[in-house]
């Protein structure tokens, strides 16, 4: 190929839509420490956190169902790291569990993840090394797999819910293995909020709201104000029949997808014994004519049926905790008189 034709073809390549991303450079997720304003500034200044590419949550990863995701984890922490793709059906060696499915990524090293998510839906990614500490410090982000034919909405909005345990200076309290918390309901933060994009809605718009609970231990009952709609998916999986929106309740790591029409100022609040606790809000300015069509179910994912012959009936009895009776395990909690990986 002479120089001229090379230039023409490389220019043509730039303009061409890319197919087959086998040679595409992976997107880099740089695990790192930095300062970020989490609390309202009237309470305290920036908090020392962990995150990806200078932000917690890390960048929202968004691809179309059937597309390949290529991610290079670059560990710029002073401790080990690995990334787990929560809820994604994938090859075990891409699952991000150090010591089990991959080696720990030590400081300064990288690990390449590559997989093609088979299911559309709302997922997330997070550290799977010392997760109780690293996720609470901020190593997490949204992973959205779009349907081949996305539903008819004006905005597709992700809301990541989390909580933090702050000291009076606005820094994270370093008690991630606190025995009291472990024996009770978990390590609860003393401040909670939703990370929301900076979008301005109009009354009458239809939105998709993807709620993700990234808190390590807190259960969020979410009051959605200014929205009227339905729950269309739970933990990434579409519901064959959408349900009334009501007050979605998310345990740690759970996701709820809502499709709803904007009926007034939009806010997210946590239902709490001390009263409704504000998590975040979306600006609503002006109005459009609302859709008359109802909310349709999302297209079903192609989940292979479970092999019935392999099914076993097992009983798991959860035991322990500060309020529990004794058990035969060595730890605070146990299943069937066994704690952790104890044999
Ligand atoms: Cu997870």
Picking from 33, 119, 110, the residue whose alpha carbon sits closest to that of residue 298 is 119
Give residue 132 CA to ligand 1 midpoint distance, Å: 11
Q: What is the C-alpha to C-alpha distance for residues 176 and 127, in angstroms, rounded to an integer?
A: 15
State the Cα–Cα distance between residues 45 and 35, nearest whole angstrom. Answer: 9
Q: How many whole angstroms from 12 Cα to the centroid of ligand 1?
A: 42
Q: Domain check: are 163 and 57 in the same one?
A: no
Same domain, residue pair 95 and 219:
no
CB-CB contact of 260 with 245 (8 Å): yes
CA 84–ligand 1 middle distance (angstroms):
6
* 28 within a domain of the structure (yes/no): yes
Are 51 and 144 part of one and the same domain? yes
Distance from residue 127's CA to the centre of ligand 1 (Å): 8
* The two three-digit tokens of residue 69, written as one number: 């995701």
Q: What pLDDT was estimated at residue 343?
A: 55
| Cα 253 to averaged position of ligand 1 atoms, centre (Å) | 6
Decide: helix, strand or coil at residue 278.
strand
Rg (CA), the chain: 22
Q: Last residue of some domain: 148, 170, 197?
A: 148
Please give the distance, rounded to the nearest whole angstrom, from the Cα atom of residue 57 to the centre of ligand 1: 14
| pLDDT number for residue 22 | 52
Residue 170 belongs to domain with CATH number: 2.60.40.420
Kindly state whether residues 241 and 297 are assigned to the same domain. Answer: yes
| Same domain membership, residue 231 and residue 96 | no
Predicted local confidence at residue 5, as pLDDT: 39
Q: What does the pLDDT read at residue 13? A: 43
- Give the model's pLDDT for residue 192: 98
The series of mean pLDDT values per 10 residues for the chain, 343 residues long, is: 40 44 79 98 96 98 96 98 97 96 98 98 97 97 97 98 97 94 93 97 98 98 98 97 97 98 98 95 98 96 84 91 86 92 65
Asked whether residue 6 is assigned to any structural domain, the reply reads no
CA–CA separation, 109 vs 168, rounded Å?
35
Residue 196 — φ and ψ, nearest 5°? -125, 150
**What's residue 17's pLDDT?**
43
Q: For residues 48 and 116, state if they share a domain.
A: yes
The domain boundary, picked from 119, 148, 177, lies at 148
- Asked whether residue 35 falls in the same domain as residue 125, the answer is yes
Domain edge (last residue) among 115, 148, 181: 148
Distance 266 CA to ligand 1 centre (A): 29
111: nearest Cα among 33, 26, 32 = 26
Domain of residue 190, residue span:
151-301
The predicted structure's pLDDT at residue 325 = 76
């Amino acid at each position: 190929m002479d120089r001229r034709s090379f230039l023409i073809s490389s220019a043509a390549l730039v303009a061409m839509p890319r197919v087959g991303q086998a040679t595409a450079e992976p997107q880099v997720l740089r695990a790192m420490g930095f300062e970020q304003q989490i609390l309202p500034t009237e309470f305290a200044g920036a908090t020392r956190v962990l995150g990806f590419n200078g932000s917690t949550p890390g960048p929202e990863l968004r691809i179309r169902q059937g597309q390949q995701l290529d991610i290079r984890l670059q560990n710029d922490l002073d401790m080990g790291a690995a990334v787990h793709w929560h809820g994604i059906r994938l090859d075990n060696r891409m699952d991000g569990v150090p010591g089990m499915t991959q080696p720990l990524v030590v400081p300064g090293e990288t690990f390449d993840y590559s997989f093609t998510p088979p299911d559309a839906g709302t997922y997330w990614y997070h550290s799977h090394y010392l997760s109780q500490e690293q996720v609470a410090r901020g190593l997490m982000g949204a992973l959205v797999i779009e349907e081949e034919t996305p539903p008819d909405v004006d905005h597709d909005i992700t809301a990541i819910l989390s909580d933090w345990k702050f000291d009076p200076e606005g820094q994270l309290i370093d008690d991630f293995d606190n025995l009291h918390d472990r024996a009770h309901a978990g390590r609860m933060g003393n401040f909670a909020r939703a990370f929301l994009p900076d979008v301005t809605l109009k009354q009458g718009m239809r939105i998709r709201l993807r709620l993700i609970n990234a808190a390590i231990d807190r259960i969020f009952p979410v009051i959605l104000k200014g929205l009227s709609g339905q729950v269309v998916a739970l933990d990434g999986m579409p519901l064959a029949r959408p349900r009334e929106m009501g007050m979605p309740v998310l345990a740690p790591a759970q996701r709820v997808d809502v499709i709803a029409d904007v009926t007034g100022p939009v806010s997210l609040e946590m239902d709490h014994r001390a009263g409704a606790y504000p998590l975040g809000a979306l600006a609503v300015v002006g109005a459009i004519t609302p859709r008359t069509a109802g909310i349709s179910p999302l297209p079903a994912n192609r989940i292979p049926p479970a092999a019935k012959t392999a099914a076993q009936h097992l009983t798991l009895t959860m035991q322990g905790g500060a309020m529990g009776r004794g058990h035969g395990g060595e730890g605070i909690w146990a299943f069937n008189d066994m704690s952790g990986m104890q044999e």
